[in-house]
Amino acid sequence: MDEISIYKYVSNKKILIKEINLGAESTYKIFYTKFKNVYVHPKLWSIITEDFNIFYDFERYLSKYKHQKEILVRHNEIKKVSENILQIKGQFFLFGGENNYWHFMIDFIPRLISLKDLSQEKMKIIIPHDLDEKFFKFILKICKLLEINEVNFLKINRGNLIYFFENLIFTSNPSIHFTYYFFHKLLNKTIIKEEEKNLYVMRGDTSNRRVLNENDLISTLKKYNYEIIDCAYLSIEEQIKKFSKAKNIIIPSGAAMANLLFVPDRINVVEIRSNLDGDFSKKINLNNRFYLYLFEKTKKVGQKLRKDIIVNISLIVQLIEEKKIY
């Protein structure tokens, strides 16, 4: 099995790739194509062609390492399973999706725009069988806003190694620029940005990168009139509304940072960091729309690769007062 460029592959096979534009630059475009007799690796939502190639420059949203580990190293296993797998007949659109809020909002939801160019008659949208109900409802809402009238789904188990489809339409992974403009064009009547509240976004009851002294941190932030929210208990619409009304935000690094798409310009955002947090907050801060402070003064705790943290509260108070983040 080889990693190749999809553009070389489709040129050789004479397969069309079409584009949807939200702006003149390439970062404001998304692309889609249709393959016949193609495999889907549902854990990564990646395409494996009938002649066993995978693409490094199109649909993938996870790292090269994960494709190496889950697909390339398991080439023989995948090929063996493919010999006996039943083909799923019909027309399908690969949405994918997962219960990680960042990936769901940033990497998957904008792909639905491709359906506006397609006939939905007898087409089914592929999603995971265990997709959270609030995520599923948001897909339906976006389809309605896109005026996609026929919405049918095929729910598949991501625990299975591969699936084999007769006809499959799949898209490129949208850029962060595309995602930003997609949401603002679509939700421009409902996103009303006003600088009203200070927000602390709880890390809450999670398995990784917990804030071990979060209760003490919350008690301190309440003195500065911070409203405390836990996104796990809010609908997507409620999250968007909360962030669009913020004037200052303090947030531990995590998936809820996807909501920074919706904040007003020129507000203050403090990201409380653990280790291995990446540069997601910088990526989402397009054109430096807001003032971003990376707060690194945390003690890393535990044996896990991604550590729990203890926040240095006195230093975060110093930052709040020096920069007037209240």
Q: Taking 80 as the threshold, does the pLDDT of residue 120 lie above it?
A: no
Q: What are phi and psi of 249, to 5 degrees?
A: -135, 130
Q: Which domains does the chain have, with CATH numbers?
A: 2-186 (no CATH), 197-322 (3.40.50)
> How large is the average pLDDT for residues 228-245?
97
pLDDT of the residue at 34: 97
Task: Give the chain's mean pLDDT.
Answer: 96
- pLDDT in the model for residue 26: 79
pLDDT at 97 (0 to 100)? 97
Q: How confident is the model at residue 299 (pLDDT cuts 50, 70, 90)?
A: very high
Least confident of 7-11, 119-123, 143-147, 285-289: 119-123
Please report the pLDDT score of residue 278 as a whole number.
Answer: 93
How many degrees, rounded to 5, is the angle at CA 96 between CA 123 and CA 102?
140
204 phi-psi bin (left φ>0, alpha ψ -120 to 50, beta other): left
Write down the pLDDT at residue 208. Answer: 85
**For residues 248 and 197, what is the distance between their CA atoms, to the nearest angstrom?**
7
> Using 50, 70 and 90 to split pLDDT, how confident is the model at 127?
very high
pLDDT at 23: 79
Radius of gyration in angstroms for the set of CA atoms belonging to the chain, rounded to a whole number: 21
Judge contact between 252 and 203, C-beta under 8 A: yes
**Cβ-based neighbour number of residue 174 at 10 Å:** 26
Residues 6+ apart with CB under 8 A from 197: 227, 242, 245, 246, 247
Contact (Cβ atoms closer than 8 angstroms) between residue 38 and residue 168: yes
pLDDT digits (tens, 9 = 90+) for 20-68: 999 778 789 999 999 999 999 999 999 999 999 999 999 999 999 999 9
Query: What integer pLDDT is reported at residue 71 of this predicted model?
Result: 98
- Alpha-carbon distance of 82 to 62, in angstroms, equals 23
pLDDT at 15 over 90: yes
Is beta strand 87-94 parallel, antiparallel or unpaired with respect to 53-55? unpaired
pLDDT reading at 325 higher than 90:
yes
pLDDT at 83: 96
Are 253 and 211 within 8 A, CB to CB?
Answer: no
The whole-number average pLDDT for the span 102-115 is 98
Please give the average per-residue pLDDT across 276-294, as a whole number. Answer: 96
pLDDT at 189 over 90: no
Distance CA 250, CA 214 (A): 12
**Which residues on neighbouring strands pair with residue 246, listed in sequence order?**
197
Pairing state between β 163-171 and 29-41: antiparallel
- CA distances 45 to 40, 51, 105, 163, 280, Å, are 6, 18, 15, 10, 21
Q: Read off the pLDDT of each residue in 115-119 and give the average, rounded to a whole number.
A: 89
pLDDT tens-digit profile of 130-176? 999 999 999 999 999 999 988 999 999 999 999 999 999 999 999 99
- State the pLDDT confidence band at 309, using cuts at 50, 70 and 90: very high
Distance CA 259, CA 101 (A): 9
pTM equals 0.95
Q: Give the pLDDT band (50/70/90) at residue 255.
A: very high
Helix (H) or strand (E) holding 33: strand 29-41
Question: Do residues 243 and 262 make contact, with C-beta atoms less than 8 angstroms apart?
Answer: yes
Return the structure tokens found at 1: 């099995």
In 3D, which of 81, 85, 106 has the Cα closest to residue 181? 106
The band of 4, judged by pLDDT with boundaries at 50, 70 and 90, is very high
CA-CA distance, 85 to 165, in Å (whole number)? 10
- The region of weakest confidence among 25-34, 46-55, 82-91, 268-277 is 25-34
What pLDDT does 286 receive?
A: 96
Run of H or E including 311: strand 308-311
For residue 191, give the nearest of 199, 181, 201 by alpha carbon: 181
Amino acid type, 145: L
- 156 burial type by CB count under 10 A (0-12 exposed, 13-18 middle, 19+ buried): middle
Task: Give the pair of three-digit tokens for residue 192.
Answer: 């009303």
Q: How confident is the model at residue 12 (pLDDT cuts 50, 70, 90)?
A: very high
